[in-house]
Structure formats: C-alpha cells, structure tokens
Amino acid sequence: MRRTASPLALVVLGLGVFLLVLTPMLAWYVEPRAERTPTDVDITSVFTGRGRYFDQQELKTRSGQKLTVTRRVLGDVAASEKSGRAVWDVSQTIDNPRTRKLDDPRKSFQWTTERLVTDRRTNRPVDCCASRPDDIAGEAYLKWPFDVEKRDYAWWDSSLGDTVPVRYQGEATVHGHKGLRFAGTVEPTRAGTRQVPGLLVDEPERGQVNAEQWYSNTGLEFVVDQRTGRILYAATGPKLALRAPGGRADKVTLLQSDKLEFTDKTQREAVELAEDDNARLRLVGGVAPVAAASAGAVCAAVGAVLVVRGRRSRGRARHAPEPDEA
C-alpha cells in the first residue's frame, strides 16, 4: 500500500496538533497548579529600628537603642510532601545591642518559635503536622494569597495571638517593583501574663505576681506583590508593657519602637524573589501558551499543506501515461 504523505509532513502536522492541544492545558491546567505556596523555603528577614527596652539585669529602661528583629522561615519539605501542605518552621528573635553581639537565639531579648501549616492554594491555615488552625488564623501572615485583591485582609499577629484587620492603602513601589500597600494598628490589648517581682508593678508587698502583659502596635505596614503574595516591605511599631493584675496603667515598658522595618537588604531580596516568581508564572500562563499556539498553528498549516501536496503529486504520478516501449 502506497503512502499518501511524506514522513516529514506527518511529523510537522502532528507537532502542530500537539502544540495546539498543549496551549489550553498550559493556560487552564498548568498555570493554576503553578500558583502554589513553595515548600523548600529558607528565608531570613531582618527588621531594624530604634526604641527602648527594659534591661532585666539592671532593672531599668534603656531608651534610644537599636533594636533588631530577625525572622527565619525554613520549609519542612518532608512534611510538606507527605501532607500536601506548605509546612514552615518559624524562628524569631528580638535583640538589643548587647544580645545582638551574642549571636545566640537562646540569649536574645526575646525568642519565639512556631509552626505554620497552610493550604498551598488558598494560603489558609490548616489542621496538620503538629499545628492546629486555631494556632494561627486569618488570610495572611508570612505571605498573602496569590492574586492579592485590592481590599482589606485579616492578618495574623503572633504577638497578639489573634488576627488584625489591615486596610488596603493603594499601590506602592519597593526598589522599582510595584506592589499593594496595607496598613493597620492594634489598640492596647491584654496578651497573656508574666510572673515578675511585685516591685516592678508597684506592688512591693508581694514577692511575685502574675503581671498582665499588654500589647499594642501603632504602625503595621506591608507592601505585597500582587501576583505572588510575597511581602516586599514590612514595618511594625510594637509596644509590650506590664500592668499590675487588674490595673489600668502601664507600669513597665518591656519593649517599644515607633518603627521597625525591613532592612534594605531584606527588601531587595524579597523583590528579587517576587520578580523570579512572576517571570515563572508569566512563562507558564502567558508566554508559553502564546508561543505554543503560534508555533502550533504554523506547524499544523505547513503540515497540512505538505500532506495535501504529497497526495496530489502521488495522484498525478499514478495517472501519468506510461512511456512507449522501445
């Protein structure tokens, strides 16, 4: 049986059909699945600013001091792969000039650890992997969801142990990269107790008291990459104070700063990561489908032409008169 088209024509036509089929898969199937919270993260963010803190060794407040907040987020890849969630371990230290020199989280002014587990698509906290959804709540914390909307969000404040509404404030630019700005405040709120000498809270007749720990924040601010939800810039104005049990006035200010913000290095690293993520999503959701559609249409058209021409040429060959015999 004779072939009606050359192998080259069939290959070109087949390639064109494949690329045309691939186009909607890239746009409607692959891209949405590329919008997933990463699991192999290893990010260190540093906030700096000036403020005051209570020196527990000398029992007095030191003002005008440089304060440093260092937060490291490390992905637990094994737990993430097993659960299908994004599992992040978070370690945060607050340091004054003296503890900063020690370079040991156990000796920092304050050291906290937590485990964040979220749905990789929605960014919502989930009950999994040694973390419960009531440990951390809200729509945003260490990142915002993909495709951030121009609206208010519920941001988790680990110092408060609750969510805080952050209001959409318009667009802002961080090192040339445009993002969406959000801001909020926290009114003085009781956030636990701490056992201290009664003398610190004006109750010298009592040896030890469970003083009330009150937290407030005058300046939460975030600039977020709209497509990926990465935080490009963050600032906070925390105050942590102690009150006597049932008291209404602050007796000791443990920590206070009008503004602690991402260092320039942290901002640049965040922008670089956001730009890399955006480039990858544009490739999968825009460049690749368009290229596949264009190349597929061309290949399919060329292949079809070659197949038709092959058939015609072979048809003419079959009907051509036989040469006269010698």
Query: Are residues 50 and 316 in contact, defined by beta-carbon separation less than 8 angstroms?
Result: no
Amino acid at 14: G
| Residue range 41-95, pLDDT digits in tens | 999 999 999 999 999 888 889 999 999 999 999 999 999 989 889 999 999 999 9
- Cα separation of 182 and 187, whole Å? 17
- Cα separation of 220 and 157, whole Å? 10
Expressed as residue numbers, the domain containing 206 is: 35-262
Assess if residue 269 is contained within a domain.
no
pLDDT of 28 reads 46
Assess if residue 277 is contained within a domain.
no
For residue 8, what are its two tokens? 């080259």
Assess if residue 47 is contained within a domain.
yes
pLDDT at 292 over 80: no
pLDDT of 36 reads 82
DSSP helix/strand/coil, 34: helix
Amino acid at 311: R
How large is the average pLDDT for residues 176-197? Answer: 95
pLDDT of 274 reads 94
Assess if residue 208 is contained within a domain.
yes
Query: Are residues 227 and 271 in contact, defined by beta-carbon separation less than 8 angstroms?
Result: no
Assess if residue 244 is contained within a domain.
yes
DSSP helix/strand/coil, 85: coil
128 — pLDDT class (breaks 50, 70, 90): confident
pLDDT at 20 over 60: no
pLDDT at 309 over 90: no
Higher pLDDT among residues 17 and 238, named by residue: 238
Higher pLDDT among residues 126 and 240, named by residue: 240
How large is the average pLDDT for residues 212-237? Answer: 97
pLDDT of 288 reads 45
* Cα 289 to chain centroid, rounded: 26
Residue 42 CB partners (closer than 8 Å, separation 6+): 72, 73, 74, 75
The number of distinct structural domains making up the chain is 1
pLDDT at 9 over 90: no
Assess if residue 26 is contained within a domain.
no
